Structures are given as structure tokens and as C-alpha cells.
């Protein structure tokens, strides 16, 4: 079977599954977002009136970024539990199709969830701001930031998924990291506004650089580094995690062919 036909079959599989579990999709898209909104709306009440419009806009884009990262990473790496236990990895390998090609298309589901969650978030918090929150000041920078974020999230999701073929990914640990990102990852607040100790952590989190690009593109908020430096660092980080994902996948495919999977069939 040609690569094109295989890819078409995988895309069809994901779209069909997306439609079959449409209620679950809505449920998953909204449940976490609703929790975040609950806290975020409470936290916005701490804001002085004169800075409310800017804070709401930054918070909205923070939720957009977190949704992209969280859904893409979780729906690639978290899905392997199901993928492995049902014996689908072996099925794909027997059909001469890389199981990672299937996982590489999982962002379709992740981004669909993000789209639903972001639309709902916009509906809720748009009324709080006196300025339009979903308007881009610099569309090119915004698009670039979002693309970096999707590419990084996909690569990290694939790395975690590949590792889970052998060592298992502790779900609760990923969940905690996921929520920690909201505050220390420079997503809900600009890095320049973070306290020193949080800023020291944020600079080591790859997502914080595209996050600054997105804030600049969406709200015009001046980033803590010059634009060209931010783009260079984001590009370098994006290439580094993609390369790492490629190496880990190649190593894991080789390992699985020689030694088999950690999980076989339905557990």
C-alpha cells in the first residue's frame, strides 16, 4: 500500500472516531476548560478596574495556548493507553504502517477539542472586556507563535507516547505538569510580570517563548526579549524537540520490533 493511501486511511480513522464519540469530544473539550474558567473568572475579580481589559485579553490567549498544548500532548501521549491495550500497535505494524504515523494524526482530535473549548471560553469572557479580545495586532507573529506551539506540543506528545510503549507514562504526573504550566509556564501572565522565582522556571519551559510571540501578535504586549531573538529561540527549540521526537521514535520502533511491547492485547 502506498504512503498516500495509508495516510488517507489513518485520517479517515481519526475523523470517523471523532464523529462516533462526538458527545465525549464535547464533554472532554469543555470539562477541563470549565474548571479553568471557574478559577479564572474568580481570579479576574482580583484585578483593578483600570487594567481589566488588558488582563482579560491576556487571560483569554493564555487559555487558548494552554488548550492547544494540553489537548495535543494529552491526546497523543494519553491515547497510547487505549492504543496499546487494544492491540492496535501490533495490527498497524503487521500492516506495514508505523504506529507513530497514526499518533502523528492525533492532533486532529486535539485541535478539534481546542477549537470547541476556545469558542466556549470566548463566549464566556468576551463580555468582561471593553476591547475586542480575539483581534490580532500582528497576525503574522500570532500565526507563527501558534504554529510553533502546535509543532512543539506534537513533538512532546510523540516523545511521551514513544516512551509509554516501554516505560508507561504516569497519567497523574502529566496532569499535574499540565496545570503547573498554566502559572509557571508563562501562559496566563507575561513572563515580565511573573515574580522572579517563577520567571527563573519559565525560561526553562520551551512553550514560554512561543507564548510571548502569541501575546505580542494578539495584544501587542511587548515581550521580555526582542522579537528576532524570540523567533530564533522558538525555531531552535522547535527543531530540537522535533529532532528528539524523531530519534526517540526510531529507537522505540527498533526496540518494539526486537523485544515486543510492554502491553500486549487487551488488559
Partner 1 sequence: MTSWIDVFRAQLFASVCWYRNNKWMIFSSFVWPYLMVGFLVGLGSLSGSIENYAERIGVSNPLFFLLSSTVIAMSSLLIVFSVTRFALENRWLGTLPYILLSPVRTTVIFIASGLPDAIITPTITVASIVPAALYLEGLAGGLKILAVLAIVLFGMMPLVGFSVLVGSALLFLREESNIADVIAPLVLLVSGIYYPLEILPEVLQLVGLALPTTYVVEAAKLISAYLTPETRLLLTPVYVLTALTFGYNLIASLVIDKAERAVKRKGVL
Binding interface with partner 1 (CB under 8 A): 21, 23-24, 26-28, 30-31, 34-35, 37-48, 51, 55, 123-124, 127-128, 183, 188-189, 193-194
Count how many Cα atoms sit within 13 Å of the Cα of residue 47 in the half-sphere of its side chain.
Answer: 19
Shortest Cβ 52–partner 1 spacing (Å): 9
Shortest Cβ 29–partner 1 spacing (Å): 9
Residue whose grid cell is 506534537: 154
* Helical H segments across the chain, by residue range: 3-20, 22-44, 52-77, 80-85, 88-94, 99-104, 107-125, 139-164, 171-184, 196-202, 208-219, 227-259
Judged by beta carbon, residue 16 or residue 250, the one nearer partner 1 is 16
How far is 180 from 146, CA to CA, in rounded Å? 20
Residues 6+ apart with CB under 8 A from 256: 89, 93, 165
How far is 70 from 79, CA to CA, in rounded Å? 13
Q: Are 133 and 125 in contact (CB under 8 A)?
A: yes
Shortest Cβ 241–partner 1 spacing (Å): 27
Judged by beta carbon, residue 114 or residue 155, the one nearer partner 1 is 114
The alpha carbon of residue 99 and the mean position of all alpha carbons in its chain are separated, in whole angstroms, by 20
Judged by beta carbon, residue 21 or residue 251, the one nearer partner 1 is 21
Shortest Cβ 172–partner 1 spacing (Å): 13
Shortest Cβ 123–partner 1 spacing (Å): 6
How far is 149 from 145, CA to CA, in rounded Å? 6
How far is 198 from 174, CA to CA, in rounded Å? 20
Judged by beta carbon, residue 20 or residue 166, the one nearer partner 1 is 20
How far is 165 from 25, CA to CA, in rounded Å? 25
How far is 99 from 96, CA to CA, in rounded Å? 9
Q: Are 186 and 94 in contact (CB under 8 A)?
A: no
Judged by beta carbon, residue 29 or residue 152, the one nearer partner 1 is 29
Judged by beta carbon, residue 45 or residue 167, the one nearer partner 1 is 45
Shortest Cβ 201–partner 1 spacing (Å): 14
Please tell me what DSSP assigns to residue 126: G
Shortest Cβ 39–partner 1 spacing (Å): 6
Judged by beta carbon, residue 55 or residue 234, the one nearer partner 1 is 55
Shortest Cβ 92–partner 1 spacing (Å): 21
Judged by beta carbon, residue 211 or residue 249, the one nearer partner 1 is 211
Amino acid at each position: 500500500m502506498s504512503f498516500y493511501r495509508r495516510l488517507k486511511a489513518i485520517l479517515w480513522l481519526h475523523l470517523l472516531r471523532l464523529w462516533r464519540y462526538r458527545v465525549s469530544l464535547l464533554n472532554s473539550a469543555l470539562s477541563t476548560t470549565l474548571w479553568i474558567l471557574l478559577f479564572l473568572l474568580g481570579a479576574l475579580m482580583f484585578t483593578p478596574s483600570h487594567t481589566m481589559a488588558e488582563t482579560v485579553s491576556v487571560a483569554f490567549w493564555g487559555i487558548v495556548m494552554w488548550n492547544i498544548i494540553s489537548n495535543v500532548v494529552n491526546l497523543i501521549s494519553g491515547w497510547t493507553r487505549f492504543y496499546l491495550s487494544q492491540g492496535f500497535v501490533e495490527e498497524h505494524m503487521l500492516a506495514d504502517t508505523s504506529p507513530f504515523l497514526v499518533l502523528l494524526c492525533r492532533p486532529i482530535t486535539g485541535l478539534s477539542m481546542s477549537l470547541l473549548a476556545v469558542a466556549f471560553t470566548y463566549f464566556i469572557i468576551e463580555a468582561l472586556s471593553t476591547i475586542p479580545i480575539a483581534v490580532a495586532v500582528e497576525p503574522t507573529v500570532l500565526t507563527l507563535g501558534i504554529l510553533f506551539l502546535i509543532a512543539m506540543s506534537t513533538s512532546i506528545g510523540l516523545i511521551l507516547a514513544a516512551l509509554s510503549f516501554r516505560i508507561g507514562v504516569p497519567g497523574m504526573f502529566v496532569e499535574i505538569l499540565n496545570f503547573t504550566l498554566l502559572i509557571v509556564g508563562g501562559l496566563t501572565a507575561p513572563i515580565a510580570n511573573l515574580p522572579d522565582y517563577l520567571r527563573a522556571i519559565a525560561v526553562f519551559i520551551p512553550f514560554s517563548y512561543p507564548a510571548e510571540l502569541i501575546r505580542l501578535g494578539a495584544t501587542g504586549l511587548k515581550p521580555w526579549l526582542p522579537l528576532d531573538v524570540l523567533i530564533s529561540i522558538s525555531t531552535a527549540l522547535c527543531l530540537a524537540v522535533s529532532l528528539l521526537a524523531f530519534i526517540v521514535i526510531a529507537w522505540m520502533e527498533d526496540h518494539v520490533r526486537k523485544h515486543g511491547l510492554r502491553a500486549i492485547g487487551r488488559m
